[in-house]
Amino acid sequence: MSTKLIIDTDPGVDDAFALALAAHSDDVDLLGVTSVFGNVGLAATTRNARRVLALCKRGDVPVAEGAARPLVHPHPHVAKYAHGADGLSGRAAALPEPERDVENGGAVRLLADLLESSAEPVTIAAIGPLTNVATLLAARPDLHDRIDRVVIMGGALLHGNTSAAAEFNIWSDPEAAARVLGGGEVPCVLVPMDLTYRCAVSTEWLDALASSGPVGAALNALTPDYLAHYRKALGWDGMVIHDAVAVAEAIRPGILTAEALPVSVETSFGPARGATVVDQRRPELRAETEVPGGGSTARVAVDTDLDALRVFLLDRLTLR
């Protein structure tokens, strides 16, 4: 059976890989894509999503524009240092022009319409700030049972990348993340950067992608700024495709090993703002020392077969 999937995204190089992964998967019914601010501003993320879909010849997939800012507080930071000024290493204009117009009504309306019209529960892959998803959950509680699960690329167990404590997607809108992860309204799978860093791909992997055909070559061409950033972050010649790891789990449940753990999001204005606090203590100890506000339970991805995952990603991305 195919996975009914909506992707909420802020492209971003790794988002482009994630979109192509879903667009190329025969076992995915890609119902729609919604954009959100994040790696670059909203106009750029929306354009980038539409151009990646055009590259993959998926003009059938509707795209709607979502939130341009967080729920509560201004957003002072984008990730141009990793993704380039246009979000795609300065190479967005090299992608095909979009094949269809942006949908009227915005992201939350498209999300709601797609959930209402689907005969089966839908997976939402949330691979940017969680503003659109939080707004949907607040506005349409009647649709919670139409969501199979929300697979979230975000958070960190050990240390962050935007700050010492916080990962970029969660840090970008902590209040939205607290609503989605802490509300207990829909099942959530959190794919933190601790695991996605371990899933990093080498330049040899990228060379194989580039030689696979026009789509692989075009995706590889988006990576120079991103690759330069991750050479410094990793200390070796490779890069991390965070969002593609999360979408792999959305497509094939269980490709990542996950544990049910309490998760809270820090929303105060201290140095830990945007941190995901994941309680990894033994259940017996958690029960013995339970305190109020311990967080709702989410499934947190903690491991995978790294080689098998990289093969899965390359196989799907090199389909022609």
- What is d(CA 20, CA 11) in angstroms, rounded to the nearest whole number? 11
Strand 122-126 relative to strand 147-153, pairing:
parallel
Do residues 53 and 19 make contact, with C-beta atoms less than 8 angstroms apart?
yes
Catalytic residues, by residue number, are 242
Compute CA 70 distance to the chain's CA centroid, rounded to the nearest angstrom: 16
- What is d(CA 112, CA 11) in angstroms, rounded to the nearest whole number? 22
Strand partners, 304: 256
Contacts of 142 (CB under 8 A, 6+ apart): none
Maximum Cα–Cα distance across the chain: 58
Q: Which two tokens stand for residue 118?
A: 């689907």
Do residues 71 and 176 make contact, with C-beta atoms less than 8 angstroms apart?
yes
Do residues 251 and 27 make contact, with C-beta atoms less than 8 angstroms apart?
yes
Within 10 Å of residue 223's Cβ, how many Cβ atoms? 25
Compute CA 240 distance to the chain's CA centroid, rounded to the nearest angstrom: 13
Query: What one-character DSSP code corresponds to residue 305?
Result: -
Residue 320 exposure: Cα atoms within 13 Å on the Cβ side: 9
